[in-house]
């Protein structure tokens, strides 16, 4: 249990880091009255949205909790509620600090680029550490309570059920938060751009645009709160399900099992420590490269993680060269699997930067294609979207083969665990983005000098890459975890239904049916997300047009637009639009099970549901990567042109690039990232379905 | 053998229909000198392109034939060459008639809408009947020769190898033809539009545009010749592999086997007859609905196919209620499976029309989204693309389950066979499109009266839907055939490698690896296709700009542009760009096999390759449907606006819709349709790999 205590301590340190750094950030000067007024409007809008979003989710959550209570009992329900509440809390806390750091970053950027960078990154790091810290704490505390206090065996049914339910709670919240936040942010963004930049011909973030506050609110509730809830979910599912897999697959003494199950926890713990050290390394060098500064933090974290994981493994497992329990692999094999996970993280970061950075072929090819018009910009962007799936897939495939050869499914699970262990740092890089985006908006609206806006723009430009990185990372972990989740599903089947022989062979047509229907889910879900953004953005356009029409003083600059009205419209639209698509992955496995049960056997119903779990990742991986990388590339192609290439701002190429950017918006910030929690939900619902059927 | 003779007779009737109807079409008046000059330029360009394309393919073909000769022997090589030559011939003949029917359709449309419709449709029907007729003849003749002349058992190794090699020949040509033709047609189309409509502000098909002849050539070499080669391939693979599956899976007396293997042939035969009857039903009713007229032909064919298939089955199998060979199913079960295939065809046609017709929600939603700009048009178009995959998937899934419940994999194969049996009529509907498209171009360039152009436009508008129908149909058949092809793969494995136990379970990580890499292929292939179009279109733009600059007389209308120069540039670009992507599916299964063999066992190498075959269909189905339906919807949304909605021609909404149309072009005519032959190639290469490994 000492190891679990260390993990808990690391989780507490992360939370403590969050609290202390929050104080630092909040103590920084918040600028002049005008800046504070704007920030206050963003704060108010973001808080109002999140309160209403969580209220709406709570309704679904209570229904699901009631179902869980009557099928799986009180313990699972409690774990579900804990996962849900902490996922919500991670998002809320991230938003809370982000809407206060934005104005302070703008103020700090008045002084220097380093000042702005430090403030924005610290604020991101708070969110990052809270995500990793709360995630680790939730799993470790449940494990500690059930094993140490309640006296269950480490691989007892109660633990499996509780960890699965915890993951379910986190996932359920996160799909709503990702999708609702994603719809909000992109509806406001697209709507503001269409009616502002395109129709009225006013610049981005012009205070005369009534949708400008909604746009800034969106950055916080979508890119920050939604992302934080998503990564919290990914963290909990990956580490929790690694422990569940160990419980299901490994036989050994209670002591051996306890050590092996605690290993993911302590690995998560020590990586929180290396992440915290990494955050202090984010400093501009002589080249003033912002990406370079962020990379210093990331690489410090990743490189320190190597010895940290080695010592943690050594400490936890004892002799690294002895086989573990009844398994053929040793602690050293697991260590190498975790190194594979770190390698995958590094490669995914590099690949994402290649596909979304302005200095490489993909973004430049889109910028060049913009010269011949809107159509060729979009064609090239779509081509890059499709292409960008290749390298990550090959990296994941190699990682799966290598870690499986080392230590079977448990090896794959540990590769996924070490990948996720860096979540604190990765989330920090991502959460930095919306803060700088907002800071730029505030600088513009408050009429700060041009050099401030230049600095915030420079800070913001790398945000497109760091945001794309997290999404590729999350979906990459989902692909690695797919085999683990499927393994848990098959083990659950043998445990709960020992008499049923399920044929998971590709020759079974029900497997094909499951694969096809699973593959359909990301497409249908993407369609819903894209349509929702289009529809909600249309509502924004109409409201802004009405405001311009009814109050000519707005465009003249003599009267203030009704910002709150637009925020309110987007809020209602986003909440309405998020419900149905979010229920799609929750209900699909259940519906498929009962339909196949009705037309064929229970064994084939289980086979179809199992295949659906893999179908959803086999297609979801590609849908998500193509959308998130493609969207990032479109956005940066626009920025590359704005930097003076291909005619610069205002040229025909720029107009075409704005179209590509608009198309990429819902791709990269609504539909694409929500695929990750969608995949998890489908998998976890299937696991819970098995438990419920066995209990019922 | 009588049944095979009947099938051969039906094939000959189809070819005869083609020859006789060609005479009718060619006897129709070809218009004035100016029209004939334009048509001659198109004929020349199309012929020159196809000759060069086939020459380039021949180089690859000879290499592949040599490899086949040394690994699988003379018979397989001969069958491969036959499949390749006939696939090429089907494409060439289709192009040959299409480039002569275009000008005659324009001339006939001077008289009446019915006149134009009859001529264009007859010309399409020639291509359709040649595709089905040559396809049927090639399979039936090989079967007849090997069984009746050479005296092999109907399920002998020689027959399996020969039919597989025949399918490979057809597929190899068709992927090059689909992709090369697709790149040609869209590079010319996009290039012409960009530089003509967008830059120079001249209308589509304006004779001053140097790319206008290339654009019209493209319709013939891509939408006609490429499509014909593709459908020939689909026909041969589906019917041929149904026979192979019977040979592999069914045990019974030689007589029973012969009858069962001949059944797909006679079903193909009688459906050619009902297709020919259907072609005579294409007549405008009192409502002057062109789609209605085409539907009359289609539904006549489909409805007559029901009793025709029943009588054919009854005649071939004798007592329909007796079990067949050692199987649990009866002839009646197979009849119902074939009815399922017909039902799938009808539903796919209906769904495609829903997603691409101007009178339904999807197209109208894109048209409406065009009001708010280029970006929202593309967003809504992508949303519709994604959504359009749902209903076809569900139809296919239900068909797979139902036909499998009736008669196992053989049942699924027969469902695919009856689906493909209607190919003559479906291709006729499709090949009608490029003829009317060209006719409109010729009318415009020759300065015919406006009412002629109005009539050809009306004829052309439904072409977008019929073209989308064929593509959905082809990919739908691929999904149905997937299980059959995989079945053939596993049976081949047991036959050639009886000692190797391959684990195709989803728990095997090599299966996951195969699924992921298979799923990647359509994405990578799509990326290549889209990029190729962009690059080749760029070359067109530069050439046209240079022509305008060097010869101001062109825009003044006093001198003739160098049409041939542009055709030449597109020709070179298309041929250069088609090679690498086409080799991707040929080489992937082979590379995967040897890589996995190197790192793990032969059993897992086979498992990974098998999973790749399913991965490619699981993701390819969605990529192809989303691209072809989405592209059709974008095109028709533009047409809907041009009909006077949302501001009509020249409005901002129209400009946005033109962007969507441009994006949809390579989606629906290059990348999307080429996915179908790509899937087949991957599967057949895997089958040949097994045969080669067993022989080697």
Mean pLDDT of all residues in A350-379: 93
The residue among B380, B383, B543 with the most chain A CBs within 10 A of its CB, best to mutate, is B383
How high is the mean pLDDT of chain A? 92
Are A659 and B534 a contacting pair at CB < 8 A? no
Name every chain B residue with its beta carbon within 8 A of the beta carbon of A369: 534, 538
Residue B59 CB contacts under 8 Å (≥ 6 apart), including other chains: none
Confidence of residue B204 (pLDDT cuts 50, 70, 90): confident
CB B42 within 8 A of CB B213: yes
**Gap between the Cα atoms of B244 and B160, Å rounded:** 5
Mean pLDDT of all residues in B624-649: 93
CA distance B584 to chain A (A): 13
Q: Indicate if the pLDDT at residue B335 is higher than 90.
A: yes
The residue among B197, B340, B386 with the most chain A CBs within 10 A of its CB, best to mutate, is B386
Q: What is the pLDDT of residues A531-578, one digit of tens each?
A: 999 889 988 988 998 999 999 898 888 888 999 899 999 999 999 999
Q: Indicate if the pLDDT at residue B344 is higher than 90.
A: yes
**Gap between the Cα atoms of A234 and B531, Å rounded:** 34
- C-alpha torsion angle, residues A356, A359, A361, A365 (rounded to 10): 80
**Gap between the Cα atoms of A673 and A472, Å rounded:** 9
Which of B504, B513, B661 minimises the CB distance to A507?
B504
**How many contacts, defined by CB atoms under 8 Å, are there between A and B?**
245
Are A401 and B374 a contacting pair at CB < 8 A? no
Taking CA–CA distances from B409, the nearest residue in chain A reads A509
The confidence score (pLDDT) of residue A622 equals 96
Mean pLDDT of all residues in A69-73: 91
**Gap between the Cα atoms of A532 and A187, Å rounded:** 8
Name every chain A residue with its beta carbon within 8 A of the beta carbon of B504: 505-507
Name every chain A residue with its beta carbon within 8 A of the beta carbon of B521: none
The confidence score (pLDDT) of residue A631 equals 94
The residue among B183, B193, B379 with the most chain A CBs within 10 A of its CB, best to mutate, is B379
Name every chain A residue with its beta carbon within 8 A of the beta carbon of B383: 526-527, 530-531, 534
Confidence of residue A18 (pLDDT cuts 50, 70, 90): very high
CB A585 within 8 A of CB A681: yes
The residue among B509, B625, B667 with the most chain A CBs within 10 A of its CB, best to mutate, is B509
- Based on the number of CB atoms within 10 Å of its own CB, is B71 exposed (0-12), middle (13-18) or buried (19 or more)? middle
Are A374 and B662 a contacting pair at CB < 8 A? yes
Name every chain B residue with its beta carbon within 8 A of the beta carbon of A486: 506-507
The confidence score (pLDDT) of residue A337 equals 97
Tokens representing residue B444 in the block: 């415009």
Q: What 3-state DSSP class applies to B160?
A: helix
Q: What is the pLDDT of residues B147-175, one digit of tens each?
A: 999 999 998 889 999 999 999 999 998 99
Q: How far apart are the first and last CA of chain B?
A: 34
Which of B509, B524, B533 minimises the CB distance to A400?
B509
CA–CA distances in Å: residue A21 to residues A99, A121, A198, A386, A438: 15, 11, 40, 40, 20
CA distance B246 to chain A (A): 16
Which of A365, A382, A513 minimises the CB distance to B397?
A513
Name every chain A residue with its beta carbon within 8 A of the beta carbon of B663: 375, 378-379, 382
Taking CA–CA distances from B508, the nearest residue in chain A reads A483
Q: Indicate if the pLDDT at residue B328 is higher than 90.
A: no
Name every chain A residue with its beta carbon within 8 A of the beta carbon of B530: 379-380, 382-383, 386
Confidence of residue A607 (pLDDT cuts 50, 70, 90): very high
Are A515 and B667 a contacting pair at CB < 8 A? no
The confidence score (pLDDT) of residue B5 equals 96
Q: What is the pLDDT of residues B558-589, one digit of tens each?
A: 888 999 899 999 999 999 999 889 899 999 99
- Based on the number of CB atoms within 10 Å of its own CB, is A23 exposed (0-12), middle (13-18) or buried (19 or more)? exposed
Name every chain A residue with its beta carbon within 8 A of the beta carbon of B666: 379
Tokens representing residue B288 in the block: 């002057």
CA distance B48 to chain A (A): 28
Over pLDDT 70: what percentage of chain B? 100
CA angle A269, A275, A278 (to 5 degrees): 155
CA distance B530 to chain A (A): 5
What pTM value is reported for the model? 0.94
The confidence score (pLDDT) of residue A462 equals 83
Would you give the DSSP letter of residue B388? T
Confidence of residue A321 (pLDDT cuts 50, 70, 90): confident
Least confident interval from A32-36, A199-203, A617-621, B645-649: A199-203
The confidence score (pLDDT) of residue B665 equals 92
CA distance B473 to chain A (A): 17
Name every chain A residue with its beta carbon within 8 A of the beta carbon of B517: 393-394, 397
- Based on the number of CB atoms within 10 Å of its own CB, is B644 exposed (0-12), middle (13-18) or buried (19 or more)? exposed
Name every chain B residue with its beta carbon within 8 A of the beta carbon of A615: 618
Domain coverage including residue B330: 1-695
Least confident interval from A71-80, A373-382, B110-119, B458-467: B458-467
The confidence score (pLDDT) of residue A334 equals 96
ipTM above 0.90, yes or no: yes
Name every chain A residue with its beta carbon within 8 A of the beta carbon of B384: 527
**Gap between the Cα atoms of B598 and B615, Å rounded:** 22
**Gap between the Cα atoms of A283 and A474, Å rounded:** 26
Domain count, chain B: 1
The confidence score (pLDDT) of residue B287 equals 83
Q: Indicate if the pLDDT at residue B77 is higher than 90.
A: yes
Name every chain A residue with its beta carbon within 8 A of the beta carbon of B409: 509
Taking CA–CA distances from A489, the nearest residue in chain B reads B507
Alpha-carbon Rg for chain A, nearest whole angstrom, is 24
The confidence score (pLDDT) of residue A372 equals 86
The confidence score (pLDDT) of residue A608 equals 97
Are A530 and B380 a contacting pair at CB < 8 A? yes
The confidence score (pLDDT) of residue A195 equals 83
Are B372 and A509 a contacting pair at CB < 8 A? no
Q: What is the pLDDT of residues A234-264, one digit of tens each?
A: 999 999 999 999 998 888 888 888 999 999 9
**Gap between the Cα atoms of A340 and A317, Å rounded:** 19
Are B527 and A662 a contacting pair at CB < 8 A? no
Confidence of residue B408 (pLDDT cuts 50, 70, 90): very high
CA distance B539 to chain A (A): 11
Are A615 and B618 a contacting pair at CB < 8 A? yes
Are A505 and B507 a contacting pair at CB < 8 A? no
CB B187 within 8 A of CB B537: yes
Q: What is the pLDDT of residues B265-309, one digit of tens each?
A: 999 999 999 999 999 999 988 888 898 999 999 999 999 999 999
Are A504 and B509 a contacting pair at CB < 8 A? no
Q: What is the pLDDT of residues B479-494, one digit of tens each?
A: 888 888 999 999 999 9
Q: What 3-state DSSP class applies to A491?
A: helix
Q: Indicate if the pLDDT at residue B657 is higher than 90.
A: yes
Confidence of residue A84 (pLDDT cuts 50, 70, 90): very high
Over pLDDT 70: what percentage of chain A? 100
The confidence score (pLDDT) of residue B412 equals 95
Mean pLDDT of all residues in B244-257: 87
- C-alpha torsion angle, residues B488, B490, B491, B493 (rounded to 10): 120
Are A384 and B527 a contacting pair at CB < 8 A? yes
Name every chain A residue with its beta carbon within 8 A of the beta carbon of B372: 194, 537-538, 541
The confidence score (pLDDT) of residue A206 equals 86
Q: Characterize B226-249 residue by residue with b for buried, 16 or more Cβ atoms within 10 angstroms of its Cβ, and e for exposed.
A: bbbbbbbbbbbbbbbbbbbbbbbb
Tokens representing residue B544 in the block: 């046209």
Are B483 and A512 a contacting pair at CB < 8 A? yes
Are A506 and B523 a contacting pair at CB < 8 A? no
Q: What is the pLDDT of residues A489-511, one digit of tens each?
A: 999 999 899 999 999 999 999 99
Which of A511, A621, A662 minimises the CB distance to B506?
A511
Name every chain B residue with its beta carbon within 8 A of the beta carbon of A631: none
Q: What is the pLDDT of residues A348-359, one digit of tens each?
A: 999 999 999 899
CA–CA distances in Å: residue A618 to residues A410, A482, A514, A625, A668: 21, 9, 12, 12, 19
Name every chain A residue with its beta carbon within 8 A of the beta carbon of B190: 375-376, 379
Are B512 and A194 a contacting pair at CB < 8 A? no
Mean pLDDT of all residues in A458-478: 85
The confidence score (pLDDT) of residue B457 equals 87
């Amino acid at each position: 249990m000492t190891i679990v205590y260390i993990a808990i301590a690391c989780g507490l340190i992360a939370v403590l880091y969050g609290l202390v750094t929050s104080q630092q950030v909040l103590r920084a000067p918040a600028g002049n009255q005008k800046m504070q007024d704007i920030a206050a409007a963003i704060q108010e809008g973001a808080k109002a949205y999140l309160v209403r979003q969580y209220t709406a989710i709570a309704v679904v959550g209570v229904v699901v909790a009631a179902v869980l209570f009557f099928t799986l009992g009180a313990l699972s329900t409690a774990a579900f509620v804990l996962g849900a509440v902490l996922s919500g809390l991670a998002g809320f806390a991230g938003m809370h600090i982000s809407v206060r750091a934005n104005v302070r970053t703008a103020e700090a950027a008045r002084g220097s680029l380093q000042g702005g960078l430090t403030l924005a990154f610290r604020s991101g790091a708070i969110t990052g550490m809270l995500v990793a810290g709360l995630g680790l704490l939730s799993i470790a505390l449940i494990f500690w309570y059930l094993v140490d206090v309640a006296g269950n065996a480490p691989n007892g049914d109660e633990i499996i059920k509780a960890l699965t339910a915890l993951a379910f709670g986190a996932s359920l919240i996160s799909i709503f938060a990702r999708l609702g936040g994603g719809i909000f942010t992109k509806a406001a963004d697209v709507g503001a751009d269409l009616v502002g930049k395109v129709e009225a011909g006013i610049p981005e973030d012009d205070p005369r645009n009534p949708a400008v506050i909604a746009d800034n609110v969106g950055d916080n509730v979508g890119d920050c709160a939604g992302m934080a809830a998503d990564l919290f979910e990914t963290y909990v599912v990956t580490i929790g399900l690694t422990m569940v897999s160990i419980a299901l697959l490994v036989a050994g003494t209670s002591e051996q099992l306890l050590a092996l199950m605690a290993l993911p926890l302590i690995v998560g713990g020590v990586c929180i420590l290396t992440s915290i050290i990494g955050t202090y390394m984010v400093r501009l060098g002589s080249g003033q490269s912002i990406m370079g500064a962020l990379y210093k933090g990331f690489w410090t974290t990743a490189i320190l993680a190597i010895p940290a994981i080695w010592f943690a493994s050594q400490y936890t497992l004892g002799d690294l060269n002895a086989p573990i329990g009844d398994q053929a692999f040793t602690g050293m094999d697991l260590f190498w699997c975790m190194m594979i996970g770190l390698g995958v993280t590094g490669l995914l970061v590099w690949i994402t930067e290649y596909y979304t950075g302005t200095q490489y072929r993909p973004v430049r090819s889109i910028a060049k294609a913009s010269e011949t018009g809107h159509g060729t910009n979009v064609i090239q962007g779509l081509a890059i979207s499709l292409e960008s799936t290749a390298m990550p897939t090959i990296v994941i495939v190699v990682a799966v083969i290598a870690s499986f050869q080392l230590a079977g499914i448990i090896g794959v699970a540990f590769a996924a665990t070490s990948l996720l262990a860096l979540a604190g740092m990765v989330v920090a890089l991502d959460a930095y983005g919306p803060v700088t985006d907002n800071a730029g908006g505030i600088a513009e609206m408050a009429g700060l000098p041009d050099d401030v806006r230049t600095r915030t723009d420079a800070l913001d430009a790398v945000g497109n890459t760091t945001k794309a990185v997290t999404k590729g990372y999350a979906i990459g972990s989902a692909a690695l975890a797919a085999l683990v989740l499927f393994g848990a599903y098959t083990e659950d089947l043998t445990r709960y239904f020992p008499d049923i022989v399920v044929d998971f062979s590709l020759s079974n047509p029900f497997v094909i049916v499951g694969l096809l229907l699973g593959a359909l889910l990301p497409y249908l879900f993407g369609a819903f997300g894209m349509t929702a953004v289009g529809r909600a953005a249309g509502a924004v356009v109409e409201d802004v047009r009405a405001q311009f029409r009814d109050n000519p003083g707005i465009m003249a600059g003599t009267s203030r637009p009704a910002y709150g009205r637009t925020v309110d419209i987007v809020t209602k639209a986003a909440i309405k639009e998020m419900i149905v698509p979010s229920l799609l992955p929750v209900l699909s496995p259940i519906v498929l099970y009962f339909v196949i049960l009705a037309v064929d056997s229970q064994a084939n119903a289980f086979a179809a549901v199992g295949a659906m779990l893999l179908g959803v990742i086999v297609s979801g991986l590609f849908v998500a990567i193509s959308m998130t990388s493609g969207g990032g590339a479109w956005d940066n192609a626009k920025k590359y042109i704005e930097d003076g290439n291909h005619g610069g701002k205002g040229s025909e190429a720029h107009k075409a690039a704005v179209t590509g950017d608009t198309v990429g918006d819902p791709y990269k910030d609504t539909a694409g990232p929500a695929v990750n929690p969608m995949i998890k939900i489908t998998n976890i619902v299937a696991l819970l379905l098995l438990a419920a059927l066995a209990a019922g």
